[in-house]
Amino acid sequence: MRHAEIPTPASASMLPAGSQRPGLRSQILLAGGMVSGISAGLAVKVLYPGSTHLETFLVWFVRPIEQLFLGSLFLLIAPLLFSSVVSGVARLRGSNTMPGLLATTLAYMFAVSAAAALIAMSMTNLFRPGDGIPPEIGQRLLTMQVAHLPSSMSPLIPSPWSPNGIIVILVVLSSAIAWALPTLRRQKGQGLVRRCDRVFAVGMKVLSTVMRFAPLAVACFMFDMTVMFGWHLILYLGAYIGVVTAALVLQVMVTFMIVVWMRADVSPAVFLHSVHEAALIAFSTSSSNATLPTALKVAESDLKLPGRIARPLLGIGTVANQSGTTIYIVVTVLFIGQFFGMDTALDRQALVFTVATLAGMVTVGVPGGALPMVATVLALAGLPPEGIGLVIGVDRLLDMARTLVNVVGDLAIAVAISREPVAALPATSPGATSQ
């Protein structure tokens, strides 16, 4: 008995070995880098206040490492963004899922992503975790990143974000190409998608290599920031983590429960109990793609969803339903704007809302996959992409939490759509028959 083919994202099949399931060792090293950087910064601030040697150490050692790490990360954004959008949208456009079911699925996912962005924006504006930094210090922090670099190092630091319009063009162009692919002859269209898969796989391999140096970079970031802000930095990061976590909890307990209760007439308690296994795997792996087999098992065995509905929907969800990531992007971008004392007026927040809502539907479902998208949204909003260095140290912890939300959201939408009239229609694609 055959089922509708799952539109597997590039990231699910083309990732380098070991990138889907981050080891405990890497998490410990990242946490160690953050703790050691903060501890060293506090010690220097207390024992050697105003030392002239400190500035020399920052300029010639700490900040070049920061900039080389960020520059390497930013250089990967263009190929990863283009390849993931082309392959992801092309698979959605040309999937074997019946057109009515696909349209209903995307409508649900867009609504859930928009609700996530609204919750995140409301929470960040209400609690303002980045407020409290004197404007002159925030501006100094912005200018010191590049202005204080040794001249011999400057040519090594790429600046790919100066023309912000290029990012917009890249997103629009890749989406247009992906949308047009199914109109080509099958062999030509699939050939381009496979090439994008390979580009994505190579980019992720390079990214995994760059991330090996993340503990050292995180230690440098935390040392630099702690020397300037002292104990206040810990308070700001704690407030930031608290706002992200609270917004994620609201997304699960309010948005998802409304979806399963009001749209599918399923008890929230029963739903949460049924999905706990998939949620645990998502939290521990930080990867929606790595959790897909468990999510399929939960959908069919525990939630009793028909395979012809659950399989394509959860496959699409690994590409197009990352509402936890939407929350992370919105809170992070607004937090960085508040931290640096930069204007976050209504028009700029509307741009962040729109881009983050769409970004949550194309962000790569792998560990660390949101970092390039955060840098993209920062650039589009006119905020310094270098500000991402503030949150890299705690990204892994928040990555685990938002992946849990992403997977639970996929299952909630699958439950709701299984009760929709369109789900009762027979599949029209070849090889897609009801269970």
Alpha carbon distance 298, 75 (integer Å):
38
d(CA 360, CA 356): 6
What residues contact 229, with CB distance under 8 A and at least 6 apart?
133, 137, 236
CA distance 177 to 86: 7
Tokens describing residue 383: 């905020």
d(CA 22, CA 28): 11
Torsion of CA 278, 237, 19, 65, to 10 degrees: 180
Rounded Cα–Cα distance for residues 323 and 247 (Å)? 11
pLDDT the model gives residue 98? 55
Q: What is the pLDDT of residue 277?
A: 85
CA distance 195 to 190: 9
Q: Which alpha helices (H) appear in 230-340, and where do they start and end?
A: 231-250, 257-258, 268-274, 276-285, 288-297, 307-320, 323-339
DSSP letters for 268-295: HHHHHHHTHHHHHHHHHH--HHHHHHHH
How high is the pLDDT of residue 82?
76
Residue 102 — φ and ψ, nearest 5°? -65, -45
Cα–Cα distance for residue pair 400/234, rounded to 1 Å: 21
User: Can you give the pLDDT at residue 433?
Assistant: 36
Contact assessment for residue 321 and residue 409, using Cβ atoms and an 8 Å cutoff: yes
Return the closest-CA partner of residue 369 out of 435, 322, 330: 322
Torsion angle, CA of 295/299/301/303, rounded to 10 degrees? 130
Q: Read off the tokens for 290.
A: 């790595």
Give the model's pLDDT for residue 16: 40
Cβ atoms of 384 and 142 within 8 Å: the answer is yes
pLDDT less than 50: residues of the chain: 1-22, 145-165, 425, 427-435
For position 68, what pLDDT does the model report?
A: 84
What pLDDT sits at residue 2?
40
**In whole angstroms, what is the distance from residue 192 CA to residue 129 CA?**
44
At 365 the pLDDT is 56
Percentages of the chain per state (helix, strand, coil), in multiples of 5: 75, 0, 25
